Chains A and B, each alone.
Chain A
Amino acid sequence: MHDRGGWPTDEPIDRSEHQLADWEVLMDSIVGTLGANGVMNTDELRRGIESMPPEEYERASYYERWFYSVETVLTEKGVLP
């Protein structure tokens, strides 16, 4: 589901942009800090995102995927109860 190269699609590219919301900056920073502290690395983040059920993956916004991954991986590792 995450492996998108060459997937057939007619969808045009939506070029509208948005400035990152505070919660998105926070989510990005949580991941960055977890990485710097050796608690959770980038590969674990990606793996967590890839484990999302396909419908959820497609529906979720970018940082919602990050949130899903961090919750999943940290719970699995016992960092979050």
Chain B
Amino acid sequence: MSHDHDHAALDEPAVATRVRALADRLVENGVLTREDLRARMDWLVSRTPADGAKLVARAWVDPAFKERLLSDARRAALELDLDPGPSPVVVALENTATVHHMVVCTLCSCYPKALLGPPPDWYKSLPYRSRAVSDPRGVLREFGLELSEETEVRVVDSTADIRYLVIPRRPAGSEAIPEEDLASLVTRDSMIGVAPALDSLPA
């Protein structure tokens, strides 16, 4: 599929043309190759929350795996033949009856994209970044999640080299669901920490 670089699609912002021109310049100057770019684009679009969901589903059915996931998420991902990405380090955080984790990057948009795919726009938005640390329950309420006063909300701000992945609680009544179907209960938002896992399989 060829691209006519001088002719931006009508619904694209002006910067789109400039980005393509930048890529051309970098390739022409030998700073990077078209093949490297294509490989990275292919990698990025192949990233989905399904990988993170597999980790969670396995942790739900296998307590020893869950401990390995909590102590070294990268190694646990490799155990399941998942790609944890070239870097950086991912740490899994377990939600329990008394602790609910919620992840944010107040400074920019740090996110475990190798295991979850690209972050949603709202995660990168200024209001989420501001309010997650000052009003987490208000934010969760906007997402439709009300937690009891007995549950501690832990907001985790990814300020440095570590990316955080939430292990949501396994829904009650899911004991009979086989592991591969369990993964369908684990939504991206539940692994960010703004929603619980689904309690029944999507239709």
Contacts and interface: CB of A to CB of B under 8 A. Distances in A.
Interface of A: 2-9, 11-18, 20-23, 25-30, 32-34, 36-37, 39, 46, 49, 58, 61-64, 67, 70-71, 79-80
Contacts of A71: 22
B32 A23 contact: no
B125 interface: yes
B78 interface: no
Given A13-B125, A14-B121, A37-B31, A25 B41 contact: yes
A39 B32 contact: yes
Measured as residues with beta carbon below 8 angstroms from the partner, the interface class of chain B is 35 or more
Interface of B: 12-13, 15-16, 18-20, 22-23, 25-26, 29, 31-32, 36-37, 40-41, 44-45, 86, 104, 106-109, 118, 120-122, 124-134, 139, 142-143, 157
Contacts of A61: 13, 15
B37 A30 contact: yes
A26 B19 contact: yes
Contacts of A21: 12, 16
Given A5-B133, A6-B130, A17-B122, A46 B22 contact: no
Nearest to B108: A46
Nearest to A27: B19
A57 to B, nearest CB: 9
Given A30-B26, A34-B32, A39-B32, A23 B124 contact: no
